[in-house]
Amino acid sequence: MESANELLTILPLIIIGAAGLFVMMLDAFTGSARLAYLATILFSAAALAVAVSDLFGPMGESFHGLITYGGTSSFGMVLVMTGTLFSVILSRDYLEKTGMHIAEVYSMILFAAFGMLLLVSSNNLVTLFLGIETMSISLYVLAGLVKNHKKSVEAALKYFLLGAFATGFLLYGIALLYGASGSTFLVDIAATEDKGMIYWAGVGLLLVGFFFKISAVPFHMWTPDVYQGAPTTITAFMATASKAAAFVAFILVLSRALPDARADWSDVIWLFALLTMVVGNILALVQDNVKRMLAYSSIAHAGYIMIGLAAGTDAAYSAVLFYLFAYTLMNIGAFGIVAYYEWHKGYDFTEVSNYSGLGFKQPIMGVLMSVFLFSMVGIPPFAGFIGKYRVFAAAVDEGLISLVIVGVLASAASVYYYLRVLVHLFMKESENGIVLSRPGTLYTASLLILAALTIFFGINPGVLTDLLGSFWTVQY
Amino acid sequence: MDAYVHLVPWIVLIPLAGFLFNGLLGMASGTFREQKNLIGGVATLAVFIPFLLALWLFFAMSGDSDAATVSLFTWIEAGSFTTDIGYRLDQLSLLMTLVVTGVGALIHLYAIGYMAGDEGFWKFFAFMNLFIFAMLNLVLADNMLLLFLGWEGVGLCSYLLIGFWYTDMAKSDAAKKAFMYNRVGDFAFLIAMFMIFQIVGSLRFEDILSGTGLFTTDQVFIIGLLILIGATGKSAQIPLFVWLPDAMAGPTPVSALIHAATMVTSGIYVISRLSPFFMQSPELMLFVAVIGAFTAVVAATIALTKYDIKAVLAYSTVSQLGFMFLALGSGAYVAAMFHVVTHAFFKACLFLGSGSVIHAMHHVEHKLHEEGKHVHFDAQDMRYMGGLRKYLPHTYKTFLIATIAIAGIPPLAGFFSKDEILVMTFNAGMGTYGAVYIGLWAIALITAFMTAFYMFRLTLGTFHGEFRLPQKFSEAKGAEEHLHESPVTMTSVLWVLAALSIVGGFIGIPNFVVATFTGTADVNLLSNWLDRTTMDADLTLSKLVEWFLLFGSVLVAAAGIFVAYRLYEGDQLEASDARISERFGAMYQVWSDKYKIDEIYEGAIVRPTVRFSERVLDVFDKKGIDGFVNFIAAAVRFTGGVVRYFQTGMIQSYAYGIVLGVILVIYMLLFR
Amino acid sequence: MLEQYIPVLLLVALAVVTAMAFIVLSRLLGPQRPASNKLGAYESGMDPVGQARDRYSVSFYIIAMEFIVFDLEVIFIYPFAVRFQEFGAGTFWAMMLFIFILFLGLVYTLKKGSFDWTAVPLQDEQSQESSYKIS
């Protein structure tokens, strides 16, 4: 039976699970959102610390092979907890200013984080499914947090219905793979000998399930509606932590359950990466709403990341992990600043034109936004550049030249919509005489940390890439 | 050496810390900005502590120590290309570090007094620290890329500090001009770097210097030429020297530090650093020498005609840098570095002395205005000065010492270094292209005469005779009572630099001077020190010839001083200039017009470019490129508009999309 | 081959005949007293006439959802209960943890007033205000 040592391998999960329950009880008995916030920060920070230290620990399996720990999984946990911690810190100010600060938010975030942690440490399709569902259901609730705002409710309902629809495919895929291989363990599926129709249909449906979670085109359509409708800091959480978790799990499945079928799924991912990059970027170009633009930008980023998956080598996987880290940092940052501007005027204050002249009113925020957006464009010396560069380089090594060319062109096009925000922030006259208040110290500090990390890992990526490479037997 | 090399990152990082401290706190807090002693103290310490560290390294090291490198972290890695933030400690880089931090610390100290009244006090010191940081990166880098980073960094700081009083349009234009000219050079330098990487496969100096055999002679010539163009930009040589005199728009400590003592010598440093590479091609060396000699003489002739004391010093700097290039081209890297060091001492002293004078003149103008007298004059113009030795005794004495040093009178610093350059040029006359080198030696000798002449013209015109301001303006009668010596923080720095100008030359006493009496000698400390890092040409002259050359250069300097004294002692400044102008006629006009180089560039490059841009590029840009870009943008937006129709907001259509995707995935996997 | 299916055919025929027979018999034997309620469709005790989009009390759904949760709990507990002596202590404590977590859920809904039929169901103070204060 599970010894104490086995429990240690899932320590972040235990911490976050207990935290979720604790915060829920805190809400039930005190109803204090402040307390819930504090508890959430403490627990998340603890889980993050454990996950970071696990990065340097051993890798292996526990719980009869249901769970995988260390290495990629621990890095997935770091991604999830980074996303969680920063979204939580940013949430308080934003939710308080917009009158939505209720304790349930934090327990739902924690439950979602629990699902994500389970997802990134799953070594079995059932564990994986449990993780995805725990995560998704919590996210459905979070999306509908603004109960009396039509867009938010609509977002939640759409997300829920389509999520359920996609989950159906995923579950069916799992069932078919079980039918073909006789097991739900990733390693056993890799050992399937009879690769018949059932097997391939199972693989296909599994891919579909993941495509939905990472919002690849044409499974992406929920993304802009949900990202726009949900409260902004929750969007930050969804866009970063859940995306990162889904990608890490995707990597685990592709590399552990389907390594032999690489030639086949690689083509599929190739096509969908192409579609995702092209459609994501084109649609981002025509958006006037910053949140919606960022939603499409996150679709576009998913496309770039999928290039790495299509390459499917060890180097590509470790590059994708780095990209996810950069992606997490810059997206939380950007959404954090959108949230900051938003709380001065209200829910719909997210149009690009609203931002005219705001850059100089609180220069720190304007500059930070520039850092995050430049990093998203992929300009050195920011982490986004290194991420893109590594993914593209790994793909070139695998001969996916045409895909990389599309990727590079797409990122060139993306300059337009990212810079458009900056043009409005810094080069247009302010129209409405809006006065920006100073954000709280912790709020500014966490954004500064995100920006500092973005720059640090842009200048000195070696620290991280060496570590990630060691998970995947890659030597740089 | 390996144990000590770990000090090097601290040397570099402490000025950065100073920059961050003053910059960030200054940005954040208004009350901090008023703490001028704190700001200036921190900034000075941030340079002085690295100086002490460098001094420690100096005593720990000897002439035959091996070069050591230390790497902070891997900066860039792309495929086979990796570059570290890494520093290289050897005799050459340590020498430069000592000069940069030593002279730098003195000038920081001086600037506390000089800038005391300025609003941007904190900004000034933040930039100065940033400059030191960039400059140390430049001299200590162990690879060309980091060197280039420092190279660009000092360019940036130079730009920021020339345009420090940016509200004055002329000054910010001067900053832009300096930046542009540097860009031209930087571009060439960058291409040279690419080519070196192409051939050697690395940008580390170790690899480049041990891989000189990989280059063909043509490649050496072309790459060397590109590096030379880069160096002419940074070190203000023909054809890119015109920015330096304009750069005097910056505060005087900046002129002293950046535009006399340190940054402008970085071109010389780079060529010395790559000396084994340059020695491969005699043609290249000749080219360097020719550029140096011509720059020296051209700048010296212009300096003869100027009245602005900082302009005279600026042209004198260009001229002295020309001497250094001449030394480089003659294969005398030690002599070049020697002159870099001594020049840093006496030119910093001269500039700071001129700063002290300008300070006093400004004060006079200010006082006169307070008395309600509307006298407007240029505080840097010699014609309004004269007789200042009575009022600024310390400034006068130090200025005079530095002037004698630059003129080349033994045993002061300038004599030894300049003499060594002349000897080595003559020595090069014995080798390949000997006749040309002899010609260059003659030019250099004439320039040495002019140097002594115009420097004494400057000193006599400024400090001797009568105070001329009251003669020029009737309202300014009695203005001399407002003249006063600068505070002790400033004059003490002047004295330290003056002392260095006196004794600085003893680090490089020519061996033959002692050898004549003792048979053999090994007294040239600098030459021993740099023995391992630079690759000097062999000295083949006999002792007799060397003595002859030595006395020749002393004689020439003395003649220059004598003529200047005859002409300018006793308020003869403008009268004598008029006589010279008459004597030389059109030639004098050419000198005074600075050879019309600015006008030539304006006419030959700037205006045609502007016209071409307006007539062709602008039209092409608007019609062609903009049209194309607009077309693409419109096409994309149109496509986006069409695709957007699928994003209906209706959940059915979303589900429809998913189903289509599923069919596609299944189809691809099942029916391959 | 086809002979094998004769019993199936017979069964189908029997079913059809029986059904027809009962319909005919009830027509013949039963009393005929029609009324509007009797002629209407049977809908689980609800009034089938009127707007389909009627409002129900939210509490109705909450109870329904909680019922499902605890109903499903039984599905886990039942097989465990049948075999738990073979599983050992670890499984026992795992099941206890599971039940405890569910119990916390129950406490939560209780505290939030989901069984309090008299109160306005499940609305907390903050969300009743306009969601965005314009400052």
Work out whether the CA dihedral A251, A253, A256, A257 comes out positive or negative: negative
Is it the case that residue A11 has pLDDT exceeding 90? Answer: yes
What average pLDDT does the structure give for chain B?
Answer: 86
Residue B259: predicted pLDDT: 85
On whether the CB atoms of residues A310 and A395 are closer than 8 A, the answer is yes
Q: Supply the pLDDT for residue C52.
A: 67
Average pLDDT over residues A406-433: 85
For chain B, say whether A462 makes contact (Cβ under 8 Å): yes
Eight-state DSSP code of residue B536: P
Lowest mean pLDDT among A92-96, B624-628, B650-654: B624-628
Residue-wise pLDDT for B325-345, tens only, equals 999 999 889 999 999 999 999
Q: Return the pLDDT at B215.
A: 86
Q: Assign B668 to helix, strand or coil.
A: helix
Query: Regarding predicted confidence, which is higher, A449 or B245?
Result: A449
Exposed, middle or buried, A45 (CB in 10 Å: 0-12/13-18/19+)?
A: middle
B551-565 pLDDT per residue, tens? 989 999 999 999 998
For the segment B141-164, what is each residue's pLDDT rounded down to a tens digit? 988 989 999 999 998 898 888 888
Q: Predicted ipTM?
A: 0.88
Question: Which is more confidently placed, A43 or B263?
Answer: A43
Residue A311 confidence (pLDDT)? 92
pLDDT bucket at C125, cuts 50 / 70 / 90:
very low
More confident residue, B534 or B16: B16
In this prediction, residue A212 carries a pLDDT of 94
Q: Which residues of A touch B661 (CB under 8 A)?
A: 208, 211, 218-219, 272
In angstroms, the separation between the Cα of residue B671 and the nearest Cα of chain A is 10
Do A28 and C134 make contact, defined as CB atoms within 8 angstroms?
no
A345: Cβ contacts below 8 Å, ≥ 6 apart: A354, A434, C134
pLDDT, residue B353, reads 93
Residue bearing the bigger pLDDT, B132 or B656 = B132
Chain segment B483-501, per-residue pLDDT in tens? 888 888 889 999 999 999 9
Percent of chain A whose pLDDT exceeds 70:
98
Reported as a pLDDT band with limits 50, 70 and 90, residue A241 is very high
Asked if pLDDT for residue B412 goes beyond 70, the answer is yes
Q: Which residues of A touch C122 (CB under 8 A)?
A: none
H-helix or E-strand spanning residue A362: none
- Radius of gyration of chain B from Cα atoms? 28
| Averaged pLDDT for residues B573-584 | 82
pLDDT digits (tens, 9 = 90+) for A302-352: 999 999 999 989 999 999 999 999 999 999 999 999 999 998 887 778 888
Contact yes or no for A221 and B657 at CB 8 A: yes
Residue A1 has pLDDT above 60, yes or no: no
Q: Report which of B617, B601, B649 is spatially closest to residue B239, judged by C-alpha positions.
A: B601
pLDDT tens column, C22-50: 999 988 888 878 777 677 776 665 666 66
Confidence of residue B525 (pLDDT cuts 50, 70, 90): confident
**Residue position matching structure tokens 């220059």:** B560
Check if the beta carbon of residue B633 is closer than 8 Å to that of residue A416. yes
DSSP A241: I
**A187: amino acid identity, one letter:** V
Residue C104 has its nearest CB partner, among A24, A100, A346, at A24
Q: What is the structure's pLDDT at B399?
A: 94
Per-residue pLDDT, averaged over B464-477, amounts to 83
Lowest mean pLDDT among A125-129, A168-172, B86-90, C57-61: C57-61
Q: What CA–CA distance (Å, rounded) separates B132 from B139?
A: 10
Tracing tokens 């096409």 back to the chain, one arrives at B635
Question: Where do the structural domains in chain C lie, given as residue ranges?
Answer: 2-32, 58-119
Predicted pLDDT at A476 = 45
Q: Judge: B666–A204 Cβ closer than 8 Å, yes or no.
A: yes
pLDDT on residue B80: 67
Half-sphere exposure of C130 toward its Cβ, with a 13 Å CA cutoff? 6
Q: Which of B73, B77, B665 is opposite residue A207, by nearest beta carbon? A: B665
Give the residues across from B77 on adjacent strands. B82
Per-residue tokens: A101: 């600060």
Give the model's pLDDT for residue B469: 84
pLDDT of residue B2: 64
**Chain C residue numbers touching A1 (CB-CB < 8 A):** 88-91
Mean pLDDT within B222-236: 91
% of chain A exceeding 90 in pLDDT: 64
> Amino acid identity of A248?
V
Return all residues near C113 (Cβ < 8 A) that are at least 6 apart.
C119, C121, C122
Which of B339, B348, B390 minimizes the C-alpha distance to B530? B339
For C94, nearest residue in chain A (alpha carbons): A2
Instruction: Name chain C contacts of A25, Cβ cutoff 8 Å.
Output: 104, 107-108
Per-residue confidence band for B643, with pLDDT thresholds at 50, 70 and 90: low
pLDDT at residue C127 is higher than 60: no
Query: Residue A317: left if φ>0, alpha if ψ -120 to 50, beta else—which one?
Result: alpha
Q: What whole-number distance in Å separates Cα of residue C9 and Cα of residue B316?
A: 119
Q: Tokens for C115? A: 């069984």
pTM for the model stands at 0.62
Mean pLDDT value across residues B69-90: 78
Cα distance from N-terminal residue to C-terminal residue, chain B: 66
Q: Who wins on pLDDT, B539 or A311?
A: A311
Cis status of the peptide bond prior to B239, with omega within 30 of 0: yes
Query: Is residue B398 over pLDDT 50?
Result: yes
Q: Is A148–C127 a contact, with Cβ atoms under 8 angstroms apart? A: yes
A near C: at least 3 beta-carbon pairs less than 8 Å apart? yes
CB–CB of A369/A334 below 8 Å?
yes
How many interchain CB pairs under 8 A, A with C? 51
Nearest to A460 by CA among B71, C57, B330: B71
Q: Does B442 have pLDDT greater than 70?
A: yes
Q: Can you give the pLDDT at residue A205?
A: 94
C89, C112, C131: residue with CB nearest A99: C131
Quote the DSSP letter at residue B116: T
Chain C environment of A102 (Cβ under 8 Å):
124, 126-127
- Region of poorest pLDDT, from B132-136, B420-424, B574-578: B574-578
Lowest mean pLDDT among A176-185, A307-316, B74-83, B284-293: B74-83
C90, C101, C126 ranked by CB distance to A101: nearest: C126
Q: Which of A416-430, B473-487, B546-560 has the lowest mean pLDDT?
A: B473-487
Say what the pLDDT of residue A55 is.
92
Mean pLDDT of B243-269: 88
Distance CA B151, CA B148 (A): 5
Instruction: Please tell me the distance from the alpha carbon of residue A296 to that of residue A284, in angstroms, as a whole number.
Output: 5
Pick from B641, B658, B669: CB nearest A204: B669
* H helix runs in A312-382, sequence order: 314-345, 363-377
Q: Do A97 and C131 touch (CB under 8 A)?
A: no
Task: Write down the pLDDT at residue A19.
Answer: 95
For B83, list phi and psi in degrees, rounded to 5. Answer: -135, 135
